[in-house]
Amino acid sequence: MSTSTPHTTSTSENEHQTTILVAHRVGTLWRCLIAATNESSPTAQPEILETIEVDSDNALEQVLKAKAPTTVYAILPGASTICRTTTLPDIDDEQIFEVLRLQAEAKLLGHTSPFRRALAPLEAAVGETNRVGLIVAWPENSKSEFPSCLEDAFYIPDAASLAALINGFRSTEPSVLADPTDGTVTLSISHPNGAALRATREDFSSKESFIRGIVRIAQETASMHNHTDVYTNEMTTNLQHELDAKYNDSLLLLLPDTITSGASKRVTGAPAEDTVWWNTWGITVGALLAITGPLRTLTTMCQKAPELNPSFVERVTARLENKSIAGRLLIAAALLLAIGPALFSGVRLAMLEMMNPEISSQYAELIESRKQQIVYKELGKTSWPMTKVIADLTNNIPIGIEIESFRIDIGQPISVRGRAINADGKSAAELIALMQTNLQGTGIFKEITFAYDPAGTYGDREFDLWATVTDPLRRPRYTKEQDFGKWTLAMRQAGIAPEDEIVEVTKPRAVESDASPMREANNESIPNDTTTIQTIDNQGDRIGSRSRPVNSDSGGASSHSGNRGEDSPTMRVPDPITAEQIALMNRNETMIAVKDIAEAKKRVGRSNPEVKERLQKEFRLLMDHLKELPIE
């Protein structure tokens, strides 16, 4: 074991420091760099506390126990990773990470797990308009093996370490990491748009084949990024000579002087001009810069998915491992199974009887109510509330439109014909379109179409409008401007707000002085001379109620109102119906009879219990017969 301690810190500084250990495997050796970062000052430089080199996995485990670092990192060789670079636009970091994630999927790295994938944008050098994105994946089928003491460590690709060393610096010479023990070759070459990084595995069976592979990769990378042949040949020649001179069957790290000089200024305790030291500890220093710099997202890889919080099942399982708790739960479960159901049923029955003393009668009323709801729902499909539909239609007619006629037939689209004039600063065409919008917004009408004639001399237009009624029972909520029942046209024209209170004044009946028999006979045929005069508080003007002209053709509305007028629903009680007569009814006859009996039940009070009981019996027979009939 060899140890070097380049720098020490005071006790006051150690109180706010976090210790980091970066382990790098080189053949059978482990190189460990221990550094400290200041949590109270994120912009402070990391400080190298100690460098240790051990020769076995057991010795590495002893170092971890002795130093007890806060966080442990390990260098991941380039032979075990997939490394890709991409060109990114110069935009803010939040957007650039989204673009980089899409690029990662495009470069076929989606098959790796998220915890085995890392990406980050590199800092742009002075004069560069684009940025370079680095994407690294660690496939699960890679051959890299790490000791159990590094099972919970974070892994940093050697390409990320190399990127952290050159981040922001551009050298004309390539940076190369070559490990002849496993064939790892990771290099970086600058180009006009940034830097290209590449990590691969080469044939390391002999020195010649390994060096030849490194030179070939450097030449291919330079050619792919549009370097000239002169530069490429000169660069590969220099690289060949340097590799021949420094190759020694161990890890080889070639860094230009500009890179080591710039990196030493960002780390406390790193010598600037010691080439041997940088060849030994350069990759771990690059990892330290990545951990504490803008490339920290490249230092989050793990061997297995991190488990942040145990699941509920795992927490329960851990508690049940206690024999005492497990025994108590077993006894409680046995007692609950023995007396729990009976106790629960008894408590529930007692509560129901206490809260609902007449639960039997309430249940019968509930069943009856549900049967009536079924009947009303069926009746709602075959009949419309014509007065409501007309009111909904007229409430949505803007001021400036005069309706000449409209036609409403059950199950058929309604048709409206009218005339629009310019009003309230809107043209006739705009008012027609506004009417279409108002009708659409109620939710009662859909498929609203219209057609209008060319504008007349004063801009008026004759138009026709058609709409389909989809929900005639819907009750839309009208605003104050739409509700002409609360705020009539006359009130609007008079400038009266709908909140003003209306006071009704009844004119007293005049006393007749002439009591002749002829006048008394005439008085019997003349209605009372009672006139209601509407006035506004604190105002003496009379208000005339004037509505918009609306005429209706003969259609479904008129036919239904006529039917309602022939029989007075307040006087008529349906004749008795026998079970044999009900059995001969079809579906339409049955539904009509159900409707008549349902209305009659509401009119018959307690004063006639025999009739009410007969109607109830016939209603049930009709409902049973209706269920047996097929739906037409």
Query: What residue ranges do the domains of the chain occupy?
Result: 2-73, 76-299, 316-353, 358-479, 485-509+528-547, 567-628
Smallest Cα–Cα separation from 592: which of 296, 383, 310? 383
Smallest Cα–Cα separation from 80: which of 130, 116, 126? 116
Question: Is the Cα torsion angle 416, 420, 425, 427 positive or negative in sign?
Answer: positive
Match domain 2-73 to its CATH number in 2.40.128, 1.10.3470, 1.10.10, 3.30.420.
3.30.420
Q: What is the pLDDT of residue 567?
A: 40
Phi first, then psi: give them for residue 70, nearest 5 degrees. Answer: -65, -45
Q: What percent of the chain has pLDDT over 90?
A: 18
Match domain 358-479 to its CATH number in 1.10.3720.10, 3.30.1360.100, 3.40.50.920, 3.40.50.620.
3.30.1360.100
Spatial distance between the Cα atoms of 351 and 335, rounded to a whole number of angstroms: 23
Smallest Cα–Cα separation from 384: which of 405, 414, 417, 416? 414
Spatial distance between the Cα atoms of 21 and 32, rounded to a whole number of angstroms: 7
Smallest Cα–Cα separation from 386: which of 421, 366, 404, 412? 412
Smallest Cα–Cα separation from 285: which of 160, 392, 446, 170? 160
Q: What is the pLDDT of residue 130?
A: 78
pTM of the model: 0.49
Spatial distance between the Cα atoms of 363 and 226, rounded to a whole number of angstroms: 87
* Strand partners of residue 189: 196
Spatial distance between the Cα atoms of 481 and 477, rounded to a whole number of angstroms: 12
Alpha helices in 132-193 (DSSP H): 158-166
* Residue whose token pair is 């059978």: 28
- Token pair belonging to 132: 């370079």
Residues 356, 362, 367: CA angle, nearest 5 degrees? 145
Q: What is the pLDDT of residue 3?
A: 61
Convert 578-602 to b/e letters by CB count within 10 Å (16 or more is b).
eeeebeebeeeebbebbbbbbebbe
Torsion (CA) 218, 223, 228, 234 in degrees, nearest 10: 20
SS3 177: strand
Give the C-alpha distances (Å, rounded to integers) separating 555 from 409, 450, 455. 5, 20, 30
- The letter for the amino acid at 44 is A
Ranges of residues in the chain whose predicted pLDDT is under 70: 1-16, 40, 42, 108-110, 127, 307-308, 380-381, 499-572, 605-607, 632
Spatial distance between the Cα atoms of 436 and 434, rounded to a whole number of angstroms: 5
Give the C-alpha distances (Å, rounded to integers) separating 415 from 447, 467, 503. 12, 7, 39
Contact 291, 75 (CB under 8 A): no
The yes-or-no answer to whether 2-73 and 358-479 have a common fold is no
Spatial distance between the Cα atoms of 90 and 267, rounded to a whole number of angstroms: 27
Residues 276, 277, 279: CA angle, nearest 5 degrees? 65
Alpha helices in 126-254 (DSSP H): 158-166, 207-224, 229-246
Residue-wise pLDDT tens digits, 560-612:
333 433 344 444 688 888 988 888 888 878 888 888 888 888 777 666 888 88
Q: Which residues fall within 8 angstroms of residue 537, CB to CB, at 6 or more apart?
A: 500, 501, 503
Give the C-alpha distances (Å, rounded to integers) separating 47 from 28, 38, 167, 260. 27, 9, 19, 16
Spatial distance between the Cα atoms of 232 and 170, rounded to a whole number of angstroms: 16
Contact 253, 177 (CB under 8 A): yes
